[in-house]
Structure 1
């Protein structure tokens, strides 16, 4: 069974078709990379799936239920987590308080203002922080964290609704090579342990080729390739889109 099914998805801005009849599926527990050069339509596609943009046509199905027209919060409550290209936490809060706020929201406790938030879901928040290697920093102010650690906290927040599908937009943006490989290795481990499906966009080809189970490629709004790392690396149309003629992806990846 497919966790996510995209059917003939299209979106136009001012006469320019940013996404053009795109269709693909994500299977249960699959780690799927969505790549393409700048302007390929990746972000537009991502934002339609997450409910931030309405599609002009096509269908978005999650476990058979149609997502078209739903707001991001409603989609989140269905079991779809999301991380963003630029990670952000509440700097005025501690690390654990950031995760607790996500858990409070998921439990519909936002308006229980008479009960201190710090007393709610602390044990579960600590469990989530332990999963991403940030339990020891639980009571530190978020503003003190290095950027790579902020990304880990953001991942813990994204796991607060026990997602069955995780959408990750440029999860390693702004990170050093070792940091980004460590983060994606962590995500891949969680995918395997929890059976979560993941759709992620990524510019770092070393990360994509090393970790993705499958890769789909967009160019000028159209899906031009779908396959494993070797088939994508060897695909002439993909090489043309990224480099023009005469170049290939190196085994270690390309940026």
Structure 2
């Protein structure tokens, strides 16, 4: 077992609303862990606590045994926590390749200017990542003209450019057609095997969750109510009552 992330008693309130209440879980290398729950369950807040966008009121978040609570998001990113977002975050006027190159330049702390344009840096490395996610043929197209499913692949390549140990994926298949959803998650699973990644993702499509997660944790009103294999979670009466509509 190679434990990448250990979360203990995580708590965060907004005024009188307790968004995350005493949440604890672990994430190992090679694991694809789904975090699910109804709207307002605290999933995105939990994500924001893990990568430093929010600071918890209490609890610890340990990355490879090191407590990262209080560190800024950029520092946590450099320690190996990558993230994709529900709404894709790319530079629309730049090409697909240039978007990935910008991340690589940041990773390697390279500056560019009049004599060293960004387009010349880490070109081969960017192309290799784009080929891996199936976007090599569209490398020279501006991101602003891409279909949404293709943007999701570009964002995945950008996240991989940071060479993460852990990848947080917030609604990775939102806005995608059913076939695209399955393809993206199959790609993610293959990257987990190749790179020894640990993936934590949120998702509303239960076909995606039960088809690709190795383990599932379920939140309701900020609290962890179930954890286990897909089969165990599907059969859990509490999960059926609050999230799956009572159907096994």
Q: TM-score, normalised by structure 2?
A: 0.97
- Compute the displacement of 1:88 (Å): 2.6
SS of structure 1 residue aligned to 2:128 = helix
- 1:149-202: CA deviation from partner (whole Å, max 9, x where unpaired): 000000000001111110000000111111111101110111111110000000
Structure 2 regions of 5+ residues with no counterpart? Answer: none
Structure 1 segments (4+ residues) deviating >6 Å: none
Name the counterpart of 1:173. Answer: 174
In 2, Cα distance between equivalents of 1:197 and 1:183: 16
SS of structure 1 residue aligned to 2:209 = helix
Residue 248 in 1 paired to residue 247 in 2? yes
Name the counterpart of 1:90. Answer: 91
Name the counterpart of 2:28. Answer: 27
SS of structure 1 residue aligned to 2:232 = helix
- Compute the displacement of 1:15 (Å): 1.2
Name the counterpart of 1:252. Answer: none
Matches within 5 A, 1:28-107: 28-107=29-108
- Compute the displacement of 1:113 (Å): 2.1
- 1:73-104: CA deviation from partner (whole Å, max 9, x where unpaired): 11110111100001131111110000000000
- Calculate the aligned-residue CA RMSD, in Å: 0.9
- 1:25-80: CA deviation from partner (whole Å, max 9, x where unpaired): 00111000000001111111110001100000000000011110111111110111
Name the counterpart of 1:112. Answer: 112
- Compute the displacement of 1:243 (Å): 4.8
* Number of aligned positions between the proteins: 246
Structure 1 regions of 5+ residues with no counterpart? Answer: 250-255
Q: TM-score, normalised by structure 1?
A: 0.94
Residue 150 in 1 paired to residue 151 in 2? yes
